[in-house]
């Protein structure tokens, strides 16, 4: 119950890693706002049925209006927002290709969600966190940005921006006791990654070869670090990026 009494927004919280984070946050005592394009109602209803506190909001993080409405509804219903987990992103549908073959449309689609969307969410919650002189923002980046993984330049760039934004925000918001950190997962076997069979087969083999810990990563491997950043255990930690990929990336 390390998050008892806290209100947490988890973007992309209805599936994959976001679902694992939403579920764990609820079990840790938080009132969880599950924000996603679809599926949030079912997840929230299931958590409430189990006796936890959850609210579903349909939200598109790339839309300024949608993000503003998400935060407004959260504050109106739950009273405040203490924790923001920027998990929503485009990842599982990205197919490796040479950077010369990428299109402007592909670049803008990735950046609108993975980078601009994160900024919109942070901007929307900051007035409420500043007013209460407390808050936690946890961003999801990727170990690909640390390694400079080839053939996914637009994705790698979007996640590299998240690392830079995390550090900039930590400095800009620290005076109001708002702590900003990030986790950098390696390749994780979420439902959506597994569903992309061509990508999963290629990346899984390469990833296992590179990792000192010779097993696949699962959403449950990531959530403990996210809870840590959201809890009082990390009350004097900000601007940090933790790689979670079985030792494949040292950072």
CA distance 24 to 171: 28
Q: Catalytic pick from 155, 187, 218, 250?
A: 155
CA distances from 9 to 86, 143, 206, 210 (A): 8, 23, 34, 34
Query: What is the distance of C-alpha 27 from the center of its chain?
Result: 18
For residue 7, count CB atoms less than 10 angstroms from its CB and return exposed for 0-12, middle for 13-18, buried for 19 or more: buried
Q: Which residues pair with 56 in a beta bridge?
A: 34
Whether 187 is a known active-site residue: answer no
- Helix and strand element counts for the chain (H, E): 10, 7
Edge-to-edge strands, sheet with 53-58: 53-58, 31-36, 7-11, 83-86, 135-140, 178-185, 241-244
CA 81 to chain centre: 16
For residues 82 and 205, what is the distance between their CA atoms, to the nearest angstrom?
A: 39
List, by residue number, the catalytic residues.
Answer: 155
């Amino acid at each position: 119950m390390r998050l008892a009494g806290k209100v947490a927004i988890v973007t992309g919280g209805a599936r994959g890693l976001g679902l694992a984070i939403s579920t764990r946050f609820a079990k840790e005592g938080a009132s969880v706002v599950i924000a996603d394009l679809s599926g949030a109602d079912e997840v929230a209803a299931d958590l409430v049925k189990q006796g936890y506190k959850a609210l579903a909001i349909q939200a598109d993080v790339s839309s300024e209006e949608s993000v503003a409405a998400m935060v407004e509804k959260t504050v109106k219903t739950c009273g405040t927002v203490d924790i923001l987990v920027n998990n929503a992103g485009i990842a599982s549908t990205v197919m490796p290709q040479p950077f010369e073959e990428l299109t402007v449309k592909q670049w803008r689609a990735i950046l609108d969600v993975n980078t601009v969307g994160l900024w919109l969410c942070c901007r929307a919650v900051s007035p409420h966190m500043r007013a209460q002189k407390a808050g936690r923002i946890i961003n999801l980046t990727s170990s690909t940005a640390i390694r400079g993984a080839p053939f996914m330049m637009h994705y790698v760039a979007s996640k590299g921006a998240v690392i830079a934004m995390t550090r900039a925000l930590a400095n800009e918001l620290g005076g109001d006791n708002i702590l900003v950190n990030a986790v950098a997962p390696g390749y994780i076997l979420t439902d959506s990654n597994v569903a992309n069979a061509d990508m999963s087969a290629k990346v899984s083999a390469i990833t296992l070869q590179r990792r000192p810990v010779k097993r696949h990563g699962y959403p449950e491997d990531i959530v403990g670090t996210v809870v840590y950043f959201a809890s009082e255990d990390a009350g004097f930690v900000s601007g940090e990026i933790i790689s979670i990929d079985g030792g494949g990336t040292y950072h």
